[in-house]
C-alpha cells in the first residue's frame, strides 16, 4: 500500500487530566501516515486521483485546535476518524507527541493504527 506522510504538524490544544493542563493550551506534534492506492495518481498527475493532503491538514488543524480531550489516545482516535473520512483512505497511522509531558523526557507519544 502506498503512503502519504504529514510530519511534524505543530498545533496547540487543551490536553491532559490535571487541572493545570486544562487551563491553557499546550503544544503537540502530530505525524500522520495516510495509506491509499496511488497508482492512478502516479499515472495521471491529477489531484483528483489522490488524497488532497492540504485538505486533510486543514481539517485536522480545525479539529485539534477546537478540541479539549483529556487523553492523547482519544485525540489520536478523533484525528484518525477525521482522516479516514476522506475518500480513498484505506488506513491511517497517527502519532501524537506531547513535548515536556514528563520531567526528564523530551516528550510522551501515542501511536495508533486504524484501518
Query: Nearest-CA neighbor of 34 among 65, 67, 56?
Result: 56
State the total domains in the chain.
1
- % residues pLDDT > 90 (the chain): 97
Active-site residue, 98 included: yes
Report the CATH number that the domain containing residue 43 is assigned in CATH: 3.30.1130.10
- Catalytic residue from among 23, 40, 54, 98: 98
Domain enclosing residue 7, as ranges: 2-114
pLDDT above 90: residue 1: no
* Residues 5-31 pLDDT 10s: 999 999 999 999 999 999 999 999 999
Query: Nearest-CA neighbor of 51 among 35, 32, 27?
Result: 35
* Residues 98-114 pLDDT 10s: 998 999 999 999 999 99
Amino acid at each position: 500500500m502506498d503512503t502519504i506522510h504529514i510530519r511534524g504538524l505543530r498545533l496547540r490544544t487543551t490536553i491532559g487530566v490535571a487541572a493545570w493542563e486544562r487551563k491553557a493550551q499546550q503544544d503537540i506534534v502530530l505525524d500522520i501516515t495516510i495509506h491509499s492506492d496511488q497508482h492512478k495518481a502516479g499515472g495521471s498527475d491529477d489531484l483528483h486521483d489522490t488524497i488532497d493532503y492540504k485538505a486533510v491538514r486543514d481539517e485536522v488543524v480545525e479539529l485539534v485546535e477546537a478540541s479539549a480531550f483529556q487523553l492523547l489516545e482519544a485525540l489520536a482516535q478523533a484525528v484518525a476518524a477525521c482522516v479516514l473520512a476522506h475518500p480513498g483512505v484505506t488506513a491511517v497511522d497517527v502519532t501524537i507527541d506531547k513535548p515536556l509531558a514528563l520531567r526528564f523526557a523530551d516528550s510522551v507519544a501515542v501511536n495508533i493504527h486504524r484501518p
